[in-house]
Amino acid sequence: MKCLKYIFSILLLNMVFIVVAQQPHNYNVVWNSQSKNASESMPCGGGDIGLNVWVENGDLLIYAAKSGSFDENNGLLKAGRLRIKTAPEIFNGTSFKQELHVQEGYVTIDAEQNGIKAHVKIWVDVFHPVANIEFKSNKNIQATVGYESWRYQNHVLRKNEGFGNSWKWVLPKEQLVKKDDINFVNNELVFYHQNKGETIFDATVKEEGMDAVKEQLYNPLHQLIFGGKLVAKNFAPVGHSEGVYVNTPYKSWLLQAKKATKTFSLQLYLYNSQTTTAQWQQSVDSIQQQYNSIAAKQPALNKQWWQQFWGRSFIHIGNKQTDAKSWEIGKNFQLFRYMLASNSNSKWPLKFNGGLFTVDPIYTDSARKFTPDFRNWGGGLHTMQNQRLVYFPMIKNGDWDLLQPQLEFYLRILKNAELRSKVYWNHGGASFTEQMENFGLPNIAEYGQKRPANFDKGVEYNAWLEYQWDTVLEFCLMMLQEHQYTGKTIDDKLPFIESCLQFFDEHYQYLALQRGRKGLDEKGKLVLYPGSAAETFKMAYNANSTIAALQVITTELLQLNVIQNNETKKAKWTAFLNRIPPVNFTTFNNKPTIAPAIIWERINNIESPQLYPVYPWGIYGVGKPGLDTALNTWHNDTNVIRFRSYVGWKQDNIWAARLGLTDDAWRITSLKLKDSERRFPAFWGPGFDWVPDHNWGGSGMIGLQEMLLQTDGKRIMLFPAWPKDKDVHFKLHAPYNTTVEAEWKNGKLHRLNVLPVERKADVEILLQ
């Protein structure tokens, strides 16, 4: 019997060792002290709800945010702030631990004071719009929860506060953020904001001369109502209090436990809809009733979802004990992916300028002493060059559910973009601008108010944004890659892609015919003038970033069976492909390089669009013709060199990886993905934007992916820019429903699993 017990113990230890060995990377973030303020908060999210969680001066505080909460000014407003107090003040005791459990998607707080031990679990349901706070202790304690709102009264927007919504620098005098409705109802707290009267949509339509088609335009702000309900079983209202957090006055609605207890739970239900107040309240009540009936099952279902999510893909680098700096890069890749997963079940895309995890703006910019609703560069306003970097990494991660909100965003505003073309120029195709509202029109401030009377009404009177139409083609690429990677039919997206291409064909022939007799040049090619190479090379003639985009999208479109089987469409898009001009070249140091354009009038920003044919368009790169010319561009183009950086939306790490420049790719990507300067490691920024800077994290993720795996048709190239001395274990996705798991350790390939197995024949190992 003793022998059997001994054998059983050895087997059990071995099983434990195996489990630990298979999960060597613990990326949980653990804090053993309270936070100073909201800037030291920890993200917790799921579905389309994000929470900032921190403990300050003995109080547990939570900012809550839900995607799509746009007010009349098109600001993206917080749902509010919760403050939980206990008596005794358990979090001020001798022991404190706050932990983000990355693999399971929740936050815990453990504290002890004078023998009283408390455990708090905070999590957001992936499948339902509900945030849960669960409290357990070994002895009875008293608890009070306050719902704190700075929108308890009308708020007059102050100078520069318009940059947090869509007014920017044309903010009208006495413009309000209108107060919310907040009331106790049957021991529960109901709060909501209802958009009433005219919104910035109405002002934008009028300013931009779209009144004639106003009734046809999609308007996401009209009668939008957002908010929710705070439920605390066995709690009752005990009045109000007032205070100031940081620099913002607030009013608190207080709920207190009816008696001291060892356990209690809070639920925060959040819901948005374009409907009436009565219908919204019925919907919230219905969500609550449904959730009560299934709540016991939800922790297990959410755990299963997170397990599936992390099983899709990963990148683990090095070992924390032997190479902490390299390990840190893999850790932050995973932490940022967790933050992106907070929007997996959403109607609206994550904003590049903070996502769902912004806090009081003073902690990002000390001059911005505004409310917690503020973020620079707007809430419902989208800067698409930034947005694309948030969403491109989801492709190789296999996170197609996370990608859908961004693609569906474009599909919803297609008609508005087509109406722009019809109203302004009387031709077809969708006219998408670089900075545009969630209803598809240019921002009212960026559009320009001091416009010459004869200036084209369809063009932004703006030195940075004029004639920049082509960013939308990168989202067309995402749509096409969804088909390439998954085999999913994209018939619902084809009208969108075709409309985007149609715009360039018809608009640039229209412009040519305004200047002269011919719509094409002497070679039968489009003349892409005026154009823009990103926001940098302005008034460009045949910008290469546009040419490369049109070539790739049209070529990929023509490869679809639905186009190949339609002779009319096949002929149409083949003819268009033949009208696209070729990529242009120049020289530096007597070496051929890719040019930004044939010619341009001025340089207006600090981007390097001459490398866009490398990424995202993939015309040049490792194993492809013309690599030497692309390398010459990297090494010799003086603008490429002087603009090089790792900060914010800079893409130099991605280009270095695509060009096989291992040392540069590792150096710049390491700088991007190192621990941020804030307490939470993946709260980067502000860079050029805000904190947390999601396009900073996204570009870092893309660069790391490209160092490990690149594809060209059916070719799968592994380790095209990976340092031989860096251990790595990764799983990423490739076209044709393929996943690749590989491990490089001690200078050798230790593992290579490719599914489906027949795709292993397409794998090339470039690191030997």
Chain segment 199-212, per-residue pLDDT in tens: 999 999 999 999 99
Dump the DSSP string for 145-193: EEEEES-SS-EEPPTTGGGGSS-GGGPPTT-EEPPPEEEEETTEEEEEE
Question: What's the pLDDT at 346?
Answer: 97
Q: pLDDT tier at 2 (50, 70, 90 boundaries)?
A: very low
Question: What's the pLDDT at 742?
Answer: 98
Q: What is the pLDDT of residues 459-497, one digit of tens each?
A: 999 999 999 999 999 999 999 999 999 999 999 999 999
Residue 76: closest CA among 369, 382, 340: 382
DSSP 8-state class, residue 753: E
Question: What's the pLDDT at 684?
Answer: 98
Question: What's the pLDDT at 11?
Answer: 35
Q: What is the pLDDT of residues 16-46, one digit of tens each?
A: 333 333 344 689 999 999 999 999 999 999 9
**Omega within 30 of 0 (cis) for the link into 616:** yes
Question: What's the pLDDT at 23?
Answer: 44
333 to 314, 338, 458, 711: CA distances (angstroms): 9, 9, 40, 21
Question: What's the pLDDT at 20?
Answer: 34
Q: What is the pLDDT of residues 91-142, one digit of tens each?
A: 999 999 999 999 999 999 999 999 999 999 999 999 999 999 999 999 999 9
Q: Tokens 């509010």 identify what position?
A: 80
CATH of the domain spanning 333-765, picked from 1.50.10.10, 3.40.50.11540, 2.40.30.60, 1.10.10.10: 1.50.10.10
Domain boundaries of the chain, sorted by first residue? 30-296, 333-765
Cβ atoms within 10 Å of 367's Cβ, excluding its own: 8
Q: Name the helix (H) or strand (E) containing 532.
A: strand 531-533
**Torsion, Cα of 524, 527, 528, 533 (10° steps):** 100
- Average pLDDT (575-591) is 98
Question: What's the pLDDT at 22?
Answer: 36
Q: pLDDT tier at 5 (50, 70, 90 boundaries)?
A: very low
Give me the phi and psi of 618, to 5 degrees please.
65, 25
The alpha-helical segments, DSSP class H, found in 313-392 are 324-340, 384-391
Mean pLDDT, all residues of the chain: 96
Mapped onto helix, strand or coil, the DSSP state of residue 420 is helix
Query: Which residues are CB-neighbours of 137 under 8 A, at least 6 positions away?
Result: 90, 116, 117, 118, 119, 262, 263
Question: What's the pLDDT at 586?
Answer: 98
Question: What's the pLDDT at 134?
Answer: 98
Q: pLDDT tier at 10 (50, 70, 90 boundaries)?
A: very low
Question: What's the pLDDT at 4?
Answer: 38
Residue 178: closest CA among 144, 201, 150: 150
Query: Which residues are CB-neighbours of 404 under 8 A, at least 6 positions away?
Result: none
Q: Please state which CATH class domain 30-296 belongs to.
A: mainly beta
- Write out the two tokens for 112: 């002890």
Residue 410 has pLDDT above 60, yes or no: yes
Residue 1 has pLDDT above 70, yes or no: no
Residue 66: closest CA among 253, 232, 266, 225: 225
Q: Three-class SS string for 90-146?
A: HHHCCEEEEEEECCCCEEEEEEEECCEEEEEEEEECCCCCEEEEEEEEEEEEEEEEE
Query: Strand pairing of 95-101 and 106-113?
Result: antiparallel
- Average pLDDT (727-754) is 97
- Write out the two tokens for 641: 């060199």
Question: What's the pLDDT at 17?
Answer: 35
First-to-last C-alpha distance (Å) of the chain: 53
Question: What's the pLDDT at 21?
Answer: 32
Q: What is the pLDDT of residues 377-404, one digit of tens each?
A: 999 999 999 999 999 999 999 999 999 9
